[in-house]
Amino acid sequence: MKLKGILVLAVTAPVAAFISEYDYNYLDVLSFDESVLYLGDDTTANDVKPLSKWSWSDCGDVEDALKLSKLDVSPDPPQSGRNLTIDAAGVVNRYIAEGAYADVAVKLGYITLYSTRYDLCKEAHNADAQIQCPVEKGERAIKQNIQLPSHIPPAAYTLQVRANTVDDTPLAWLLASVAHSQTVSTSTPVQTKVKEIKDCGTSSAITFQDATGDNIQNITMNVSEQVDSATLTYAIVEQGFKLLSFDGDFCTYLSKSGISCPVSQGSYELDVTNDSDIINSSQSNYTINMDIHNGDTELGCADISFEVPQSPESVTNLNN
């Protein structure tokens, strides 16, 4: 296994790591109405819903040390608790010495769940790869088998891998994504809609204008004092139960609406049309509780309610 195999390890290792280490506050239930899914150690194969089709892209420069031409997975879609075969091919353009590393981030929507730095050569050694560092130039092709965890929470994940040589020269930049999808009987896509916005009333620094509608596209955010930075905590609530919660950067969330930090006093329009990407697996209506804070200081809070169409004639594929 040459460097492509090493990068495959850099892509797959963090998935298992962040699932085992990250505290999801995930509810320990199997099902209420077959829409609340907990993939714990006691989950059987029949409980495991397949992930949607794997996709990836090479975002690096043409002169990077490694250019991948192929990064396929089998089975596609991958399945929790099953063996996964990764088939990779590409060209190593420059000699790669010991000390090459990769910064890897696993994201859920706009939120970074897990990030770490891997020593690629050490990862290859620990995995008993066929060929170790240093890596010579040339075309390469490898296949790597891994065992996926049985308790992957159902959601849309994005993996970002930025790899560099020991002297910090760009080696590769990869993006990959995989998510749950659901099908019923046809291929007609169904869009989750925002039905209601309610301010929680916990703070006056940031408030949200209450709104109801059939398909709300934007919400009004009022800022009474300048916000330089803040943490955004998402909590997914379905049928009164908190399914999972995680922290992210509020300024990153605002950037998708063209708003940059620091945020001055005034009113702003937030685009919420893509917030359903945070969780793409529920067949039931759910609410996202969005809590904004700076340390222990509460800045603002809103509840965003989503409606999932329930037509037996359609496909629920929220990834589209």
pLDDT tens for each residue of 189-206: 445 678 889 998 777 899
In contact, 242 and 38? CB cutoff 8 Å: no
Superfamily of the domain at 3-179 = Ganglioside GM2 activator (2.70.220.10)
pLDDT the model gives residue 50:
46
pLDDT the model gives residue 271:
87
Same fold, 3-179 and 193-307: yes
pLDDT the model gives residue 24:
40
**CA torsion angle for 34, 40, 45, 51 (degrees, to 10)?**
70
Topology annotation, domain 193-307: Ganglioside M2 Activator Protein; Chain: A, (2.70.220)
Burial, 61: exposed, middle or buried (Cβ in 10 Å; 0-12, 13-18, 19+)? exposed
- The Cα 150–Cα 130 span in angstroms is 27
3-state secondary structure of 287: strand
Q: Where are the domains of the chain?
A: 3-179, 193-307
DSSP 94: S
- Give counts: helices (H), strands (E), the chain: 3, 17
- The Cα 96–Cα 13 span in angstroms is 21
Among 13, 147, 159, smallest CA distance to 78 is for: 147
pLDDT the model gives residue 302:
92
pLDDT the model gives residue 131:
60
The pLDDT profile of the chain, 320 residues, written as one tens digit per residue, is: 444 455 555 555 544 444 444 444 333 322 222 222 222 233 333 333 444 578 888 888 888 888 888 888 888 777 767 787 888 888 889 898 999 998 988 776 666 767 788 888 888 777 776 667 888 888 877 777 777 766 566 566 788 889 999 999 999 998 888 764 433 333 344 456 788 899 987 778 999 999 888 888 888 999 999 999 999 887 877 766 676 677 788 998 898 889 999 999 999 999 887 665 554 444 567 788 889 999 889 999 999 887 766 544 433 333 33
Predicted structure pTM score: 0.53
